[in-house]
Structure 1
Amino acid sequence: MNLAEAIEINAKARPDHIAIIEGDRRLTYRELAGAIATAAARLQTAGVGREDIIGLCLKDSAEHLIFLYALARIGAVILPMDVRWTEAEKLRVAAHFETRFILVESDSDPVGDLQMLAWDALPEETDAAGAILPGDDIPLLLSLSSGTTGRPKGPRITHTQMLRRFWTHWINLGLNSTDRYVSATPLYFGGGRTFAMSVLFSGGTVILFPPPFDAADLCAELDRVSATSTFLVPTQLRKLLTQNIASLAPVGKLRLLISSGAPLDGDERVAISKLCTNFVEYYASTEGGGISLATPDTRRLQPNAVGRPVFGVEVEVVDNDHAPLPAGEIGRFRYRGPGVATGYFRDEDIDRETFRDGWFYPGDLAEIDEAGHVILRGRAKDMIIRGGVNIYPGEIETILREHPSISEAAVVGWASQRLGEEVAAFIVAAEPVDDTDLKLWCAERLAPYKLPKAFFRVDDLPRNSAGKVLKAELAAGLPTSAA
């Protein structure tokens, strides 16, 4: 099935139902289907054909959603590109994936000598839109992993694989045709794009409310549109938690509040649950979609977990020889399922590291308890080896963030001539706190070999555009050796 077929189905079944709200603008499903068909015909007139790789570099607007489905309709391959990237970033990604065209806003600056198409200046269609191309296993998009540093990675996701990701939204999250979903994260990002496309596929309403915004503005919009659901990344949720809970009443009325993109601490999960009882944490990856879901029920059983596997997904923790480990042991996390990509586009070297025997390795360390809860223990590449002992930064970061004077923390390895690596902790202090207090706090909660060698205070932790902490940047600023 081509994903664009669903929009036609919804247009016939409920033509006057609102599909998209953007400020005061409203598009019904009849209007959305017509706009997609027209956009598809204009793209074909411009020379876009089946399996052409097209960079999609648009603002968070109704047109962004229209062209996602228009490109899908004609069988083109979508390469999401962030409008906030520099020219050099756009050039690097476009060159690596050999894009045919980049679809841009009319006021966009040129990007080298790449062929660019302004969405509102496409040639008028010479013919009406043809039949929707069959979908099934034709490629839909190359969804870049978070960040643009180094060599870009793009798993090739087919229409069928994306549809199976939608299944988990319906089966596990309960998104459906009655939803009024507020899209409050950039459509360039995997979560923002996939949730919005899923709601439109199912016949619900997508309300566009892209960042930046403050808590008061978000609450006003949730109230204005009678929202039933939204997706926020942890950095957005942490900002909500700084507000008076009485001012966040519209958040509490949501049928579904989704967090994804990075794990939350146990205390944060408790605080958000008080804000909205219908809060869930969705562990997912660009390469494979949804993995596990933490609900109010799973949090009561295992508050530090990211939940249990979603429909159709199988998970395992293995050792360095890829042998499964028993429950409760920490190792490399892997999973497989019908929505998981089979490899990266033109990147066999990375394929060998992350795709093996039908399993995908997202690079996380984890343990799985006897009841099947997945507990993340950090990134494999971030693991610190001090005197031959494995130390998991995520555990130390959680302890530090539980200190009443610390709002954020990041732990990295610090080169040491004596032990190989030491533990360095970067903290964002909400109020003054001295090292003696911090050392005592950690010593009461951690084994001696896990204690930070030093604490470094920063105003903010550096993050990429997806909100993930740039630990390499922190490590690069450390003194040469911890001795």
Structure 2
Amino acid sequence: MNLAEALDGNAQRRPHAPAVITATDTINHADFRNMACRRAARLAELGVERGDIVGVNLKDNSEHLAALFALARLGAASLPMDWRWTVEEKSRLAEFFSPKIVLSEPDDPFARIEGDWQSVKTDRAWLDAVRKCNPDATELADGDPPLLLALSSGTTGIPKGPLITHDQFFARFMIYFATLGFNERTRYLCATPLYFGGSRGYSMCSVYAGGTALLYPPPYEMPELVSFGTEHGATKMFLVPTLLRRLMDMPARDDGQLLMPELDLLFSTGSILHPEERDALMKNVSPWYLNFYGSTDGGGATALFWDDPPEVAGSVGRPVFGAEIDIAGEDDTSEPFGKIGRIRYKHPGTATGYHNDRDASREAFRDGWYYPGDLGWRDEAGYLYLAGRAKDIIIRGGVNIYPAEIEHVLCQHKAVRDAAVVAWPSREFGEEIAAFVVLRDAAADLDNINGWCRQNLARYKVPRAILPIDDLPKSGVGKVLKNALSERLEPIG
């Protein structure tokens, strides 16, 4: 299949319905189809063919979204490049993935870098050339061509590039349709950069379904985002936990109504909200809150819905549409309920390997399963609980300690807003436990927090030190950067 074919259908059945709305313009489905097709024609004139890699180094606007569908039409793979990166970061990525062309903003210094790729600026000359192109000049690439190198974190300084095809991405759309409720009436408020996997996927799915992508990228003040979403009738919004907390900090409306009453879904991924935060969010912003667990490489895995029982609030939910979840032991056999092991999952949208990285592919993709590197366990009702990253296990005196358990206990203390636990090199025990905490009140008593840990954890799991920090360092999608915390610690003894 070819995902760009949906634009043809949308242009016929919903020509005047909005496909993309930004702060400055509205583009209907008929015009967006022609916008993407003209760019496909221009890229074909520049030599882009099926199977080529093209860097997309564009801001979070309609040009970016049109480029993704244009490349999809040609059967070329998009290589996401965050326009906020430095020239050096973009150069390293381009040298590793070898794109034929990189599309860049006119004022981006990277557009002036000479490499093995052709730099194309989306300037006036580009737009003039695009306008002259016939929107019907190119054919849809058939079969199951590559669609995307969906970058995920790597250990060598270069992100890994799981290659995702049209069929695989459509399988992810099926999860969005069945689990998240995307359809032609959807107005998805994209409030995070299109470079991020979720933002890109949800926006493309909205347009694919005949709905609307509302693009309102950062930076912004939270009241501005709420105002834009309300003005344009946003029905779905994805935010990382950091932004959700800013949303929760907004004052309640004078009339007692929800902050965003039109929303039929507010969802997030990354770290799990604390129960009291989740309750406040559902009371003041939207009662339809969902936590989505998955990965760039594997797609969605589980979802915890607003009406799941309170006793499973610490889980990440049960499998989404089409997904199968398992817990693997050391010998890759399935672990029983309640036992911690390596999470693995599969569904038709899971990637099957990384571009130019056989070793990483063999480690993460085995026998049809994808191993995201997370540890967890399942209860008998099928709910999945995270126990941290496999690489984050603390081995103290030969005993495995799971940071997520300690973090959960810390966050139950009334003085702790957020917490992260990392290994602390120790001559005596090999590794000790260090806990970094974000306090609700800077004057909070750390001895009291330590006593709380002693009440609720086995003695060997109690942190050696509890260290206050203003904010936890986090990635753009809200994951705690534990390496940055570990670098603050000097070895003990």
Give the TM-score, by structure 2 length: 0.94
Q: Alpha carbons of 1:149 and 1:225: their partners in 2 closer, same or farther (altered >3 Å)? A: farther
Q: Does 1:421 align with 2:422?
A: no
SS in structure 2 of the partner of residue 245 of structure 1: coil
Residue equivalent to 1:203 = 210
d(CA) in 1 for partners of 2:382, 2:143:
32
CA distance in 1, matches of 2:343, 2:143: 29
In structure 2, distance between residues paired with 1:118 and 1:474: 39
Q: Counterparts of 1:250-265 in structure 2 under 5 Å?
A: 250-265=259-274
Structure 1 residues 173-322: aligned runs within 5 Å: 173-246=180-253, 249-275=258-284, 276-300=286-310, 302-322=312-332
Contact 1:423 1:453 in 2 (8 A): yes
Query: Secondary structure of the equivalent of 2:182?
Result: coil
Find the counterpart in structure 1 of residue 408 from structure 2: 398
* 2:394/2:433 contact within 8 Å kept: yes
Note the C-alpha offset of 1:44: 1.1
How far apart in 2 are the matches of 1:263 and 1:286?
18
The corresponding residue for 1:10 is: 10
Structure 2 residue identity aligned to 1:447: A
**1:57 CA drift (Å):** 0.6
Work out whether residues 136 and 158 of structure 1, in 8 Å CA contact, stay in contact via their aligned partners in 2: no
Q: Residues of 2 paired with 1:459 and 1:300: CA distance?
A: 30
Q: Decide whether the 8 Å contact of 2:103 with 2:120 is kept in 1.
A: yes
Contact 1:136/1:160 (8 A) holds in 2? no
Q: Does 1:445 align with 2:461?
A: no
> TM-score normalized by structure 1?
0.96
Structure 2: segments with no counterpart, 5+ residues: none
Deviation, structure 1 residue 46: 1.8
Would the alpha carbon gap of residues 398 and 213 (structure 1) be closer, same or farther in structure 2, given more than 3 Å must change? farther
Once residues 272 and 308 of structure 1 are traced to their aligned partners in structure 2, the CA distance between those partners, rounded to angstroms, is: 21
C-alpha separation in 1, matches of 2:179 and 2:142:
24
CA deviations 1:244-264 (Å, max 9, x no partner) are 333783335411111123333
Please give the alpha-carbon distance, in whole angstroms, between the structure 1 residues aligned to 2:106 and 2:306: 46
Q: Which amino acid aligns with 1:471?
A: K
**1:146–1:211 CA distance, 2 compared to 1 (3 A):** farther
Q: Which residue of 1 aligns with 2:140?
A: 133
Q: Is the 8 A contact 1:4 1:132 kept in 2?
A: no
1:92-107 superposed matches below 5 A: 92-107=92-107
Q: Which amino acid aligns with 1:102?
A: V
Aligned to 2:114: 113
C-alpha contact (below 8 Å) 1:267/1:402 kept by paired residues? no
CA distance in 1, matches of 2:433, 2:383: 28
Q: How far apart are 1:227 and its partner, in Å?
A: 1.3
Offset of 1:201 from its aligned partner? 0.5
CA RMSD, 1 decimal? 1.8
For the residue of structure 2 that corresponds to 1:422, the secondary structure is strand
Structure 1 outlier segments of 4+, above 4 Å: 124-128, 146-149
1:144 matched residue in structure 2: 151
Partner Cα distance (1:358, 1:265) in 2: 34
Q: Aligned partners of 1:227, 1:152: CA distance in 2, in Å?
A: 32
Pair 261,7 (structure 1): closer, same or farther in 2 beyond 3 Å:
farther
C-alpha spacing 1:43/1:318, structure 2 compared with 1 (3 Å): same
The aligned amino acid for 1:78 is S
- Counterpart in 1 of 2:485? 474
Counterpart CA distance in 2 for 1:354 and 1:299 is 32
Aligned counterparts, 1:298-447, within 5 A? 298-300=308-310, 302-431=312-441, 432-447=443-458
Question: Residue type matched to 1:254 in 2?
Answer: L
| Residue identity in the other structure for 2:435 | A
| Residue 204 of structure 1, CA deviation | 0.4
Asked whether the equivalents of residues 253 and 259 of structure 2 are also in contact (C-alpha less than 8 Å), the reply is no
Q: Which residue does the alignment assign to 1:40?
A: 40
Which shows bigger deviation, 279-288 or 208-217? 208-217
- Bigger Cα displacement from structure 2, 239-248 vs 282-291: 239-248
1: CA distance between counterparts of 2:176 and 2:365? 24
C-alpha displacement at 1:127, in angstroms? 5.5
Secondary structure at the residue paired with 1:282?
strand
How far apart, in 2, do the equivalents of 1:244 and 1:127 lie?
51
Deviations 1:367-418 (A, max 9, x none): 1110111111111111111122211111211222232222221110011112
Percent identity of equivalent pairs: 46
Following TM superposition, by how much is the alpha carbon of 1:42 offset from its aligned partner in structure 2, in angstroms?
Answer: 1.0
Gaps of 5+ in 1: none
Query: 1:207 Cα shift?
Result: 0.9
